[in-house]
Amino acid sequence: MTADKTMTADEAVARLADGMTIGIGGWGSRRKPMALVRALLRSSVTDLTVVSFGGPDVGLLAAAGRIRRLVTAFVTLDSIPLEPHFRAARERGELEMTELDEAMVMWGLTAAAHRLPFLPVRAGLGSDVLRVNPQLRTVLSPYEDGEELVAVPALALDAALVHLNRADARGNAQYLGPDPYFDDLFCEAAREAYVSCERVVEPEEFAAAGGPQSLLIQRHCVTGVIEAPQGAHFTSCVPDYGRDERFQAAYARAAADPAAWRAFTARFLSGDEEEYRAAVAADAREAA
pLDDT over 90, % of the chain: 96
Distance CA 77, CA 56 (A): 7
Could you give the number of structural domains in the chain?
Answer: 1
User: Given this model, what pLDDT does residue 173 score?
Assistant: 98
Q: Determine the structural domain holding residue 65 and report its residue range.
A: 9-101+155-247
Q: What is the SS3 assignment for 184?
A: helix
* Residue with more model confidence, 204 or 75: 75
- State yes or no: pLDDT of 210 exceeds 90: no
Q: 161 in a domain, yes or no? A: yes
- 3-class state of residue 152 by DSSP: strand
Tell whether the model's pLDDT for residue 130 goes beyond 80.
yes
> Is 43 domain-assigned?
yes
238-283 tens-digit pLDDT: 999 999 999 999 999 999 999 999 999 999 999 999 999 999 999 9
- The pTM of this model reads 0.96
| Residue 2 lies inside a defined structural domain of this protein | no
Q: For residue 65, what are the CA distances in angstroms to 40, 46, 85, 93, 181?
A: 12, 8, 10, 11, 26
User: Residue 120 domain-assigned?
Assistant: no
Instruction: Give domain status of residue 136, yes or no.
Output: no
Neighbouring-strand partners of residue 140: 148
Q: Is residue 215 situated within a structural domain?
A: yes
Average pLDDT over every residue of 214-225: 96
